[in-house]
Amino acid sequence: MARFTKAELNGFYGAVVPDLLPDEQQELRLLFVGINPGLWTAATQTHFAHPVNRFYPALLQAGIITEPVDAAAGMSRTDRERFRSLGIGITNLVRHATARASELTTAELREGGARLTELVARRRPRVVAVAGITAYRTAFRPPKAVVGRQPEPLGPAELWVVPNPSGLNAHETVASLAQAYGEVARAAGVID
């Protein structure tokens, strides 16, 4: 695992982490959407990379991926290719890094919702899974939305809200995240 000092991590404020998407000619089945990159994610250029983030362990437990990913050290080229070959992509509502999602403004989240809508219209994933109910409510304005499949699609895609895998989301476990992520992966045809 990579190690960073607080000063090194602070140097990544505002850095952008590019989307991880299959090539344009490949099918995008499932698009996971984070809130925004954390500083560790920006430092490693790997989504959901903080050492206590449970995203990759939950994907592994759900059977979506079959090899562990040490995201805290940064995804390898092989890891990225495995994701792409499965038709899985990862993006964020807001592209720039902060220490905490609470630092984002409502305007930034709503602009991110518009950007996500454009990406979905262009890439046409089967399923979009937004990780975080509060960010989803802010970005898309359905104040009473709950976790799970949403009644309205996002363009051509089924729209789901799944629990955020951050270590700050203490009431979720790897097992509960695996269950939620497995559900969206089955809906997208990534797993049976």
CATH code for the domain of 54: 3.40.470.10
Across the chain, mean pLDDT equals 95
* 61: three-class secondary structure by DSSP: helix
Q: Is residue 172 part of a domain?
A: yes
pLDDT at 3 over 90: no
77-86, 145-154, 164-173, range with the lowest pLDDT: 164-173
Q: Is residue 154 part of a domain?
A: yes
pLDDT of residue 143: 87
Phi first, then psi, for residue 157 (nearest 5°) are -105, 145
**What angle is formed at CA 182 by the lines to CA 38 and CA 192, rounded to 5 degrees?**
140
Q: CA–CA separation, 98 vs 111, rounded Å?
A: 16
Q: Is 191 within 8 Å of 63 (Cβ atoms)?
A: yes
pLDDT, tens digit, 9 for 90 and up, residues 91-119: 999 999 999 999 999 999 999 999 999 99
Confidence of residue 76 (pLDDT cuts 50, 70, 90): very high
List CB contacts of 74: < 8 A, sequence separation 6 or more.
Answer: 2, 44, 45, 46, 49
pLDDT of residue 168: 78
Segment 59-80 shows an average pLDDT of: 95
Confidence of residue 1 (pLDDT cuts 50, 70, 90): low
Q: Which stretch of DSSP H or E encloses residue 186?
A: helix 174-188
Structural domain of 126 = 6-188
Q: CA–CA separation, 117 vs 124, rounded Å?
A: 10
Q: Is residue 104 part of a domain?
A: yes
Q: Is residue 1 part of a domain?
A: no
Q: Is residue 16 part of a domain?
A: yes
Q: CA–CA separation, 111 vs 61, rounded Å?
A: 33
Number of domains comprising the chain: 1
Q: Is residue 69 part of a domain?
A: yes
CB-neighbour burial class of residue 18 (10 A; exposed 0-12, middle 13-18, buried 19+): exposed
